[in-house]
Amino acid sequence: MSFGPTTAPVLLAESAGISPTRGREYIVVLGSPVGKPQIIAGLLLLAFLAQCLWLAVHSPMHTMELAQIQQGQKLFQERVFSAEAARSPVIPVLAAAPLIGSGDDRALENHASETRAIRSWRWRARLPFIAIGVLLGGSLWYVARRLYGNAGGYIALSLYAFSPALILRAASIQPAIVAAWGAFGAVFTAIAVSHTLYAPREVVLWNWKRIGLLGLAITLGVGSQFALAAVVLLAFAFLLYLAPERRGAALAIMAAACAVAFVLLFASFGFDLHAMFGSVRGVRTADVAPQLLGRRLTYTLLAMFFLRMPGVLVALLAALVVYAVWKRPRFFGVNAPLIAFALLMLLGITMPYLGGYNLFVAALPFAYVFIAGVFADLLETRYSGPVFGVLMGVIVAHAVVSVMGMARLN
């Protein structure tokens, strides 16, 4: 599964600031059989998977993870759908699903902390989150390569495959990696849908697969973090912007996708309206704190978040400087991930009780796509040699820091 466009009309490419020549090049590349680019991407995803599996096997299961599994057990076995404030059962369902019927989940019944029995299967409980992490990496590769060619795909996926923040979340039972895939999928599936709205056919019915995919993305995003409803609105805004002459069809498609998401979320609550709306009512205006934008501590914590990934920080700052002073990368294909990244960072700062740090993590894939877009353009200039050298140094250093960090966790 991947969250990305399947067609790229020249009209849309031009409106997004991409030359028709570049658009045709990507279609030819994507139509070719598996080759060197796909093999390299596969190896990078294998590196990501290996790090996640190593952590899933060796890291102790925390109390919060055990609580998610226990809640999921109640959902599957006892049909108990409690109305948790500002939370849906999506994460507990994913956590408990690999253990249902195996007999291993009985080890949780009388133990509040991890036991030897739990250590024997903890990696299996984490598998759905690892799988989502791998799928997010594949989605990111597809989108970045589609927008910026092979170079963009390599850059984005290299940063992703050795990203400690994403590896840690994918190798544990928590909502961040699910939220990241949902947010990424919602934005880029909406953009993909806009590519089809000029086709001379019944676009709403013809787009049923993308509607289902967009509905699933919204389910995973909003179901893991309610704050990501704002990202769904951003995705809708992108859809309207890219298809100004087909806004009726765009509205119908988004409404259909939201209906699919509602049904899926309703199903996760066991079709219990009381539990579902009780959870939604748990979202309070007091949970939004815009005053945090003016606190020095906020930016200290934000700096600490990025300083744990020095390679990403250097690449992001460099990309932002180039974007500010150079006109070439300022087109929709680069603007969109930057806007999504900025929105998620803003939500993370102002909604500490409705996502907070998890929203910073969900912002990272958009940052990687943005970095890839800027550097892919730089690699096409006469300074490509020095840019390539610096970029390789940053990526290698980023990978070394990630692997060494994993080793220290043993």
**Is the pLDDT confidence value at 410 over 60?**
no
**95-105 residue pLDDT tens:** 888 877 665 55
Position 199 pLDDT exceeds 70 = no
Q: Does residue 2 lie within any of the structural domains?
A: no
According to the model, what pLDDT value does residue 214 have?
Answer: 94
DSSP track, 205-225:
HHTHHHHHHHHHHHHHHHHH-
Q: Using pLDDT thresholds of 50, 70 and 90, give the confidence band for residue 108.
A: low
Read off the pTM. 0.86
Structure tokens at 108: 């949780």
Q: Say whether pLDDT at 362 is over 80.
A: yes
Provide the pLDDT for residue 103: 59
Say how many domains are in the chain. Answer: 1
pLDDT digits 0-9 by tens, 275-331: 787 777 667 665 777 888 888 888 888 888 888 888 999 999 999 999 999 999 999
21 belongs to a structural domain: yes
Confidence of residue 88 (pLDDT cuts 50, 70, 90): confident
| pLDDT of 274 over the 50 cut | yes
Residue 86 in contact with residue 287, Cβ under 8 Å?
yes
Please report whether residue 76 resides in a domain: no
Residue 129 confidence (pLDDT): 95
- Please give the Cα distance from 178 to 90 (Å, whole number): 9
Q: Which of 303, 302, 368, 338 shows the shortest CA–CA distance to 161?
A: 368
Flag whether pLDDT at 379 surpasses 60. Answer: yes
Q: What is the pLDDT of residues 123-162, one digit of tens each?
A: 888 999 999 999 999 999 999 999 999 999 999 999 999 9
Amino acid at 163: S
Least confident of 172-176, 293-297, 377-381: 293-297
Q: Can you give the pLDDT at residue 96? A: 84
Cβ atoms of 346 and 362 within 8 Å: the answer is no
Query: In this structure, which amino acid lies at residue 92?
Result: P
Residue with tokens 């992108």: 238
Determine, yes or no, domain membership for 24: yes
* Nearest-angstrom CA–CA distance, 74 and 385: 58
Q: Is residue 75 part of a domain?
A: no
- C-alpha 298/C-alpha 110 separation (Å) is 40
Q: Is residue 117 part of a domain?
A: no
**Average pLDDT, rounded, for the chain:** 82
Q: Is residue 108 part of a domain?
A: no
Q: Which residue has tokens 């610096």?
A: 390
Question: What is the arithmetic mean of pLDDT over 243-269?
Answer: 89
For residue 172, give its domain range. 10-58+127-408
Q: Give whichever of 11-15, 116-120, 133-137 has the largest mean pLDDT.
A: 133-137
Contact call for residues 20 and 14 (beta carbons, < 8 A): yes
The pLDDT score that the predictor gives to residue 317 is 95
